[in-house]
């Protein structure tokens, strides 16, 4: 993964514009020409060799409060939601196989508990999809995008893969 093709920094800068493939995928330990982003950590726009490797940049971003907040928001939504829908689904499957009597209890007309539970699975899936998409759009996308540009700015020219 690292130090495979020793492509030079300026060459990368020219290809980036038209080919997103070469968009500054960083790795460790190769020299760089360009200064890192202004105000982004200790480098402060001074081109020093091997002081600020891509690995250090990623560790730094990972420790930054902005990133911690994005990760916290993602996990605080996703982990409980996953646990909830998996348990609800397992309860449904186990009830359908182990307690058919309960599931056959009529609710209204020819509609019984099993039918309501099955359609309920569809409904909760649609609802959770909507809630997740909304949460991600409103609470996460903007912060993640800012972090993305900042990180790419910092790693630009450090070490093209």
Partner 1 sequence: MTGSHQTLALVLFSVFVAVTLGITTWVSRHRHGSAEEFYAGGRLFSPLENGFAIAGDYMSAASFLGISGLIALYGYDGMLYSVGFLVAWLVVLLLVAELVRNCGRFTLADVIAARMAERPVRIAAGSSSVVVSVLYLVAQMVGAGSLVALLLGGTSEAARSWTVVGVGALMVIYVSLGGMRATTWIQIVKAVLLMAGTITLTVLVLLRFHGDVTALLSTAAERSGHGLDFLAPGLRYGGDWTARLDFISLGLALVLGTAGLPHILSRFYTVPTARAARRSVVWSIGLIGGFYLMTIVLGFGAAALIGPGAVRASHASGNTAVPLLALDLGGGAGSTGGTVLFAVVAAVAFATILAVVAGITLASSASVAHDLYRSLRRRHSTPYSEVTVARFAAAGIGAAAIGLGLLARDLNVAFLVGLAFAVAASANLPVLLYSLFWRRFTTRGAVWSVYGGLVPAVLLVLLSPVVSGSPEAVFPGLDFHVFPLQNPGVVSIPLGFLAGWIGTVTSPEPADAARHAETEVRALTGAGAV
Residues near partner 1 (CB under 8 A), total: 60
Question: For partner 1, which is the closer residue by CB, 35 or 128?
Answer: 128
Residue 131 CA to residue 126 CA, distance in Å, equals 9
Residue 38-77 contact track with partner 1, rule CB under 8 A, x = bound: ----------------xxx-xx-xx----x--xx--x---
The reply on whether position 109 binds partner 1 by CB under 8 A is yes
Applying CB under 8 A, among 20, 38, 39, 65 the residue interacting with partner 1 is 20
First CA to last CA across the chain, in angstroms? 7
Q: What are the residues facing 111 on neighbouring strands? A: 108
The reply on whether position 132 binds partner 1 by CB under 8 A is yes
Applying CB under 8 A, among 47, 96, 116, 139 the residue interacting with partner 1 is 96
Applying CB under 8 A, among 12, 26, 30, 36 the residue interacting with partner 1 is 26
Paired tokens of 117: 């539970």
The reply on whether position 116 binds partner 1 by CB under 8 A is no
Select from 159, 157, 160, 161 the least CA-distant residue to 37.
Answer: 157
Outline where DSSP puts E strands in the chain.
106-108, 111-112
Half-sphere exposure (CA, 13 Å, Cβ side) for 103?
Answer: 15
């Amino acid at each position: 993964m690292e130090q495979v093709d020793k492509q030079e920094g300026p060459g990368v800068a020219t290809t980036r514009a038209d080919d997103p493939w070469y968009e500054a995928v960083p790795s460790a330990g190769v020299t760089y020409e360009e200064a890192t982003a202004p105000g982004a950590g200790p480098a402060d726009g001074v081109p020093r060799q091997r002081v600020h490797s891509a690995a250090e940049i990623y560790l730094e971003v990972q420790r930054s409060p902005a990133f911690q907040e994005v990760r916290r928001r993602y996990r605080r939504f996703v982990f409980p939601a996953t646990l909830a829908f998996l348990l609800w689904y397992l309860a449904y499957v186990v009830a359908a196989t182990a307690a058919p009597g309960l599931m056959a209890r009529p609710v209204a007309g020819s509609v019984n508990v099993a039918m309501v539970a099955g359609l309920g699975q569809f409904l909760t899936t649609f609802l959770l999809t909507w809630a997740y998409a909304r949460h991600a759009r409103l609470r996460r996308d903007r912060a993640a995008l800012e972090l993305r540009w900042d990180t790419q700015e910092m790693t630009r020219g450090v070490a093209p893969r």
